Amino acid sequence: MAGLVEGKVAVVTGAGGGIGREHALALAREGARVVVNDLGTDRHGGGRGAEMADKVVEEIRAAGGEAVASYDTVSTREGADGIVWTALSRFGRLDVLVNNAGILRDRTLLNMSEEDFDRVVDVHLRGTFLCTQAAARAMRLQGEGGRIVNTTSFSGLIGNFGQGNYAAAKAGIYGLTRVCALELQKLGITVNAVAPVALTRMTSDLAMMKGATEDSLGPQLIAPAVVFLASELAAAITGQVIGVEGGKIFVYRMERTEGVLRDPASGTWTPREIAEAWERIGR
């Protein structure tokens, strides 16, 4: 039986370990040829090396799949173009992009440096923008549609203490996903996102991971949702955010209340009137 993405070419950024590695392995098992992109940095974005990406490529090849490593950064135009060019030059096309690369530099608002804020936003949000743009341009030229899967987060959608930089980036990715889904739909390119909660080297010391195990909350539990979104099974799905927490899968939705309408003929709301109507406004 052919795999769900048989014959497709997929790029996975930040695929040298954790969630990204599982994405790359799962896509390869389902027949994709994979570009394994990773800088080889630590979780704070420090250091650099080829070992992480190379190791995942070796795993895929040992299992009978096809893969190539990419060591470009997602946070520059040259890096994003280089990642896409790796797919085009080695495999002749690009069908799937999974934006997964990320770092953490957790600090509370009052203690966060501008560099810590900018660096996290550069990798997560700017990286997602640049890679999505580069991939979408290649997919448009191919004229056969494509699949883009971004990575947002509980922190960006709900909030999490000490992660203002990370949350701002991940909330931006949610908005970017929605806009790209609208703009690229006419090209047959779907754009969705996953919001994973998983035990990895990036999250192992977070309070919310206390008591978590590889079996109950390992990164391998996220990959099936990404393969689903990358496949024809999700051809009619775009602009959605799938949450995955262990064995639980759900959809995040932006919600607005019914609100309270004031007759324009009676004048504008006053702050006191808003306060008096607040319970009805929030229902």
CA 268 to chain centre: 42
User: What is the SS3 assignment for 107?
Assistant: strand
Asked whether 153 and 159 are in contact (CB, 8 A), the reply is no
Number of H helices, E strands in the chain: 10, 8
Asked whether 191 and 234 are in contact (CB, 8 A), the reply is no
Measured distance CA(168)–CA(164) in Å, rounded: 6
Q: Is 166 a catalytic residue?
A: yes
Which one of the listed residues 71, 166, 174, 252 is annotated catalytic? 166
User: What is the SS3 assignment for 37?
Assistant: strand
Measured distance CA(94)–CA(91) in Å, rounded: 8
User: Would you please indicate which residues are annotated as catalytic (active-site) residues?
Assistant: 166
